[in-house]
């Protein structure tokens, strides 16, 4: 199960397992974000390389238009995924 939605504070909430079968669902929501973006990973249990690709594409699109981007509340597993991919500093996780 996976859900991607905007909360009342304008944060993007990722919930469940973001893998290749759910990447298009996440991309559809993230493509609508045009302002500074905080992605809350508090309830994200798993992320595959396809999920990393969606997050990276969103970061690049927003960065290129002068917007800020940050990932927050990642559990140890998700933090390690981004650490091993060398993306923690890029996404403001350090």
pTM strictly above 0.75? yes
CATH classification at residue 10: 3.30.750.24
Instruction: Give how many domains the chain has, as a whole number.
Output: 1
Beta bridge partners of 72: 40
8 Å CB contact between 93 and 80:
no
User: What is the predicted pLDDT for the residue at 91?
Assistant: 85
Per-residue pLDDT tens over the stretch 39-56? 999 999 999 999 999 999
- The helix/strand/coil state of 54 is helix
The answer as to whether 89 is a domain residue is: no
The answer as to whether 94 is a domain residue is: no
Tell me how far CA of residue 42 lies from CA of 15, 67, 83, in angstroms: 8, 22, 17
Q: Residue 66 belongs to what domain range?
A: 2-84
Cβ-in-10-Å burial (0-12, 13-18, 19+) of 74 comes to buried
The answer as to whether 50 is a domain residue is: yes
């Amino acid at each position: 199960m996976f859900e991607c939605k905007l909360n009342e504070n304008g944060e993007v909430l990722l919930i469940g397992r973001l893998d290749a079968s759910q990447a298009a669902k996440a991309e559809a929501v993230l493509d609508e974000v045009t302002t500074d973006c905080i992605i809350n990973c508090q309830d994200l249990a798993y992320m595959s390389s396809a999920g990393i690709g969606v997050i990276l594409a969103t970061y690049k699109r927003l960065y290129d238009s002068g917007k800020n981007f940050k990932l927050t509340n990642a559990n140890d597993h998700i933090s390690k995924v981004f650490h091993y991919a060398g993306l923690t500093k890029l996404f403001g996780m350090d």
